[in-house]
Structure 1
Amino acid sequence: MNDCETAIDEVRHQEFKSMNMNMDAYMEAEPTDEAVCLWYSDIGQRIPALRKMLGQMGYPSATRSLLGWLDSYFEQCENFPPGKFPNQEYVKVLIQEFVFYRAVEKNLQKMTTSQELQLLEELCHYLQENSKLATIHNIFDGLFGNSGHPLKDVDEQRRLAMMRLVSMAISIGCKVVLDCTAVWMYNQDCSSHSINLADAVMTDFCELVSGLKDTIQRVAQTSPTFTHHLLTALMSHYNTYQSTSQPIKLIPPAQLDIVTDWIIEHPTVCLRHALPGKPPSRIPSFYIHASYKASSHDPSSSGPVPGLLWQSVLSPLILDANRSQIQKTLDKRFSVHDYSLLFSKLHLGILQAFVTTSDAKATTSKGKARAGALSLSDIESVIMLTVHTIQDNKISRDAVQIAVERIAQLLQVSIATGMLNTTKEKVIPLCKELPSNDLLTLILHEKLPS
């Protein structure tokens, strides 16, 4: 860090200290019985004074001061259940008026482009300076979380701001913002909000702006957890069932190129749920997520793996059946042959990930084995889609054999590495639906651990 940056940080520190002292003065006015009344308990009565003080500060000083106050608020709310933090509505009002909008007299005005850029820089810096993990995630959720209901105007403003914040974090390698976004996506449970975020990020960095490949490639190293959830949301986006003739939408080649590089260079990025240790815990949330179900984050969840398998196995069938149509839609940088090779690379990356993560058969404190990478339902779904795609399209024998051999290789490696979360005996009946293949027959009948 150079002298100029050090001086700027020192000025910011002094500003935060001064403004927080002013905030404390407002909060401590007309003190009540401190033994029974926490500092936030009567915030409703103090809102007019807080608004007046923040309004007089102007932007960005008001936002900086409010962030410092939110830090204290969330730190003292750690033991409250999700969505049950005290005086939430008042906190939402302050965030709305002094973070994402400007309060001008009695009206709210949207930020200008320059104000939004300044805000994003402030948020990046603020989160990097804060060392308490739970507080950081709660602040992030307070700023960008939502209740799961249809987006309102203010939520749309926040959604766009969050997308730009994540893009900035990717560009400058800001790990703390990406890690916070990973928790946010985990809490969202592949909702439309997290899927839209993943789609926007990949489209911006892989397709709309040239020369950013190296930037997006570094994400897997900067924040493997964010990359894992990004992949999970991305697979949900492209693997929405289309029709029997084209059951999934293939990942565009520019995005596929990045995805395969992530998996080849960092094999465990798609299997973090199967690594030794406890599954991620749910950090208390400022918002109640209406779509959340207690069972949706079972540690046996397969993350992005099922979606990656669908893309890997079905791609030779879809490319063969729709070659001329797909060629017309491809970027000039890619031919159908290049596209096909990328899917072969993806398949290799998945196999490599199984091998690299083979030690994931670690046991928990209760002595139960951690879940593998592939469940019986994962295998059943990819086989079903393969069979339907073959039946409903004119596909060459070579393409069919490639698809079936990929299933066979996935089974072989997952069995050998302990990544199969079921027994081979349960898989054999499912495979009878597939076209005959020598490699598949050999694997299903050879003596491997099951």
Structure 2
Amino acid sequence: MTQIMKRLQYLEFPECSIQALEYLVLTHSSQPGTVIPGFGGHEEEISIEISQNYILFQNRKGKLSAVQELNLLEMLCHSLQTAPEGSRYTIFKVIFGGKPEECKTLLLTSLVSMALSTSCGAVLDCAALWMQEHDCYSKPVCDLSRTLVEDYCILFSDVNPAFQRLPSVSPLFTCNLITAVTTIYPFRDKKTIPPASLLEYLTEWISDDYCLCSESVRLVRIQAHFSCPFPGLVNWCVLGPLVLQCENSNEISVSENTSIVTLSKLHLSVLQSLQAYRSMELSQELFLMSTMLVVAQTLLGHQKQKHPTDKDLIHSAIDRLGQVIQVALETGSLKVERGRSELRKINKLLPHNRLLSMVSRKYAAEPMDVS
């Protein structure tokens, strides 16, 4: 057993966690080739063991009390915030990396919630990279995001300043959070309508910074994984007004009417965000035409269920879908070569729409046979 492990086994909480975090920061902040006394060249294995025993307390018989857990969270925030920027995520991965086990995800969720409330960008940036590595559509990431929505959008109706200024603290985390929450609340029917306050927050964030939704793509040169909130946002903009107005047999409420107005603002911000993507000179495809086809099929389902008086709502939704497809194609964020047949199918599937027909003729025309 190393000197460090011998020392830690005789310490009680919180001293053992303080010492464990100090060793993790020291080890992973050292220059390559530096040997830390007591590690004997097996830094990674020992770091993980220390983390499991004295931060996650996987082998502890009883759980930490609420006060002790709060103390631990404060220590984690402080350690990551004061660690050198280049080593923060390495330290974070030692603690929370690997398979998403319950003890890790519970502590991580509490840590991220605290970091959000205290505007601790160091922790939120690390959590953002963790979200990308696990995929923003995955269950662990969606579970984390759902808890944040409950904490900051559902339990408290008043505007939360910390949640409101989230993009200025960690744009990357905000981008990945938007991707996750639009997965949780796809806005396809009454059961998947997002909280009104969440819609307000997202609309304000995106309208204030048109590059926010592309923040994850900026890292593609150094991080293979990236998330894209645009497909989920298209669901909100195109299907949202239809769901809010047609899912209720009675007259829509004031809050629902406010959400419809907010969705119009969000739709404009999404189009402007796609325009901004062109100026970023990035070449990644953000959309798949198959995603737009799914939206079109959902629209068709709504059309079959509605009365003739709902035709205006359907055509307004098709207009929005056509605008998104047109701007995405023009900005290069959706490559028609891979979805030419799907674009033609979208045009044929839905009721006639002048804009959608023009886009289809321009981008989905059969290539000329020159053989």
**Fold-level match, TM-score > 0.5?**
yes
Q: In the alignment, which of 186, 205, 211 is matched to residue 152 of structure 2?
A: 205
**Mapped pair 1:437 → 2:353:** yes
Q: Percent identity?
A: 28
Counterpart CA distance in 2 for 1:230 and 1:205 is 13
Change in 2 beyond 3 A, CA 1:302/1:247: farther
**Mapped pair 1:252 → 2:195:** yes
Contact kept, 8 Å, 2:203 with 2:266, in 1: the verdict is yes
Change in 2 beyond 3 A, CA 1:93/1:325: farther
Q: In the alignment, which of 317, 321, 328 is matched to residue 414 of structure 1?
A: 328
Amino acid at match of 1:122: M
Where 2:286 maps in the other structure, the secondary structure is: coil
Change in 2 beyond 3 A, CA 1:311/1:124: same
Counterpart CA distance in 2 for 1:430 and 1:211 is 41
Q: In the alignment, which of 225, 232, 238 is matched to residue 307 of structure 1?
A: 232
**Cα-Cα RMSD:** 3.3
Q: What is the match of residue 145 of structure 1?
A: 97
Cα offset, 1:263, TM superposition: 0.9
**Mapped pair 1:239 → 2:186:** yes
Cα offset, 1:95, TM superposition: 2.3
**Mapped pair 1:121 → 2:74:** yes
Change in 2 beyond 3 A, CA 1:325/1:219: farther
Contact kept, 8 Å, 2:112 with 2:124, in 1: the verdict is yes
Contact kept, 8 Å, 1:313 with 1:403, in 2: the verdict is yes
Q: In the alignment, which of 193, 196, 204 is matched to residue 261 of structure 1?
A: 204
Cα offset, 1:204, TM superposition: 0.9
Cα offset, 1:73, TM superposition: 4.3
In structure 1, the gaps of 5 or more residues are 1-44, 80-84, 283-296, 363-369
Equivalences for 1:271-290 in 2 at 5 Å? Answer: 271-275=214-218, 278-281=220-223
In structure 2, the gaps of 5 or more residues are 34-40
Q: What is the match of residue 136 of structure 1?
A: 88
Contact kept, 8 Å, 1:213 with 1:258, in 2: the verdict is no
Where 1:335 maps in the other structure, the secondary structure is: helix
**Mapped pair 1:98 → 2:54:** yes
**Mapped pair 1:360 → 2:280:** yes
Q: What is the match of residue 319 of structure 1?
A: 244
Deviation sequence 1:235-263 (CA, Å, 0-9, x none): 222239x7xxx397122211111111111
Counterpart CA distance in 2 for 1:126 and 1:265 is 32
Change in 2 beyond 3 A, CA 1:336/1:210: closer
**Mapped pair 1:64 → 2:64:** no
Q: What is the match of residue 385 of structure 1?
A: 298
Counterpart CA distance in 1 for 2:117 and 2:58 is 27
Change in 2 beyond 3 A, CA 1:71/1:53: same
Cα offset, 1:78, TM superposition: 8.3
Amino acid at match of 1:313: V
Counterpart CA distance in 2 for 1:202 and 1:387 is 30
Contact kept, 8 Å, 1:173 with 1:219, in 2: the verdict is yes
Deviation sequence 1:240-289 (CA, Å, 0-9, x none): 9x7xxx397122211111111111112222123455x744426xxxxxxx
Cα offset, 1:72, TM superposition: 4.4
Amino acid at match of 2:77: C
- Quick check: which has more Rg, 1 or 2? 1
Amino acid at match of 2:142: I
Report which of the two has the higher share of helix. Answer: 2
Q: What is the match of residue 36 of structure 2?
A: none
TM score, norm. by length of structure 2: 0.83
Larger mean CA deviation between 316-325 and 173-182 belongs to 316-325
Contact kept, 8 Å, 2:214 with 2:228, in 1: the verdict is yes
Equivalences for 1:71-110 in 2 at 5 Å? Answer: 71-74=25-28, 91-101=47-57, 108-110=61-63
Counterpart CA distance in 2 for 1:141 and 1:306 is 29
Counterpart CA distance in 2 for 1:372 and 1:123 is 37
Change in 2 beyond 3 A, CA 1:447/1:53: closer
Change in 2 beyond 3 A, CA 1:350/1:321: same
Amino acid at match of 2:93: D
Q: What is the match of residue 398 of structure 1?
A: 312
Cα offset, 1:163, TM superposition: 1.7
Q: What is the match of residue 270 of structure 1?
A: 213
Contact kept, 8 Å, 1:408 with 1:440, in 2: the verdict is yes
Contact kept, 8 Å, 1:274 with 1:360, in 2: the verdict is no
Q: What is the match of residue 216 of structure 1?
A: 163
Where 2:205 maps in the other structure, the secondary structure is: helix
Counterpart CA distance in 2 for 1:210 and 1:77 is 48
Higher relative contact order (CA 8 A, sep 6+): 1
